[in-house]
Amino acid sequence: MNGAAPHVPVLLDAVLAALEPAPGTVIVDATFGAGGYSRRLLDAGATVHAFDRDPDAIAAGQAWPETREDPPRLVLHPRRFSEMVAALAEAGVAAVDGVVMDIGVSSMQLDQPGRGFAFASDGPLDMRMEQDGPSAADFVNGAPEEQIADVLFAYGEERQSRRVARAIVAARPLATTGELARVVRKALGYHVGQPKDPATRSFQAIRIHINAELDELRAGLVAAEQLLRTGGRLAVVSFHSLEDRIVKQFLREASGAVAGGSRHLPQQKAVTSPTFAQVSKALRPSEAEVTSNPRSRSATLRAATRTVAPARRAA
Transcribe 165-195 into DSSP letters.
Answer: HHHHHHH----BHHHHHHHHHHHHT--TT-S
Quote the DSSP letter at residue 168.
H
The maximal CA–CA distance of the chain, rounded, in angstroms, is 61
On average, the pLDDT of the chain sits at 91
Place 107 in a pLDDT band, splitting at 50, 70 and 90: low
Of the two residues 196 and 41, the one the predictor is more confident about is 41
Q: What is the pLDDT of residues 8-29, one digit of tens each?
A: 789 999 999 999 999 999 999 9
- Name the CATH topology of 12-107+213-306: Rossmann fold (3.40.50)
Strand partners, 124: 176
Please state the separation of Cα 209 from the chain's center in Å. 13
**Which residue from 213, 249, 235, 238 is spatially nearest to 300, judged by alpha carbons?**
238
**Domain map (residue ranges) of the chain:** 12-107+213-306, 116-211
The answer, yes or no, to whether residue 286 has pLDDT greater than 70, is yes
Q: What is the pTM of this model?
A: 0.90
Type of residue found at 254: A
User: Which of 89-106 are b and which e, b meaning 16 or more Cβ less than 10 Å from the residue's Cβ?
Assistant: eeeebeebbbbbbbbbbb
C-alpha to C-alpha distance for 40 and 15, rounded to whole angstroms: 10
Please count the other Cβ atoms lying within 10 Å of the Cβ belonging to residue 206: 27
Residue 109 has what pLDDT?
A: 66
C-alpha to C-alpha distance for 43 and 4, rounded to whole angstroms: 12
**Which residue from 98, 114, 108 is spatially nearest to 9, judged by alpha carbons?**
108
Residue 262 has what pLDDT?
A: 47
The answer, yes or no, to whether residue 5 has pLDDT greater than 50, is no
Tell me phi and psi for residue 286, to 5 degrees.
-75, 165
Q: What is the pLDDT of residues 211-244, one digit of tens each?
A: 999 999 999 999 999 999 999 999 999 999 999 9
Check if the beta carbon of residue 30 is closer than 8 Å to that of residue 99: yes
Please state the separation of Cα 199 from the chain's center in Å. 20
Check if the beta carbon of residue 221 is closer than 8 Å to that of residue 252: no
Place 135 in a pLDDT band, splitting at 50, 70 and 90: very high
C-alpha to C-alpha distance for 87 and 118, rounded to whole angstroms: 31
Residue 150 has what pLDDT?
A: 98
Type of residue found at 256: G
Residues 6+ apart with CB under 8 A from 216: 80, 81, 82
* CATH superfamily name and code, 116-211: Putative methyltransferase TM0872, insert domain (1.10.150.170)
Residue 269 has what pLDDT?
A: 57
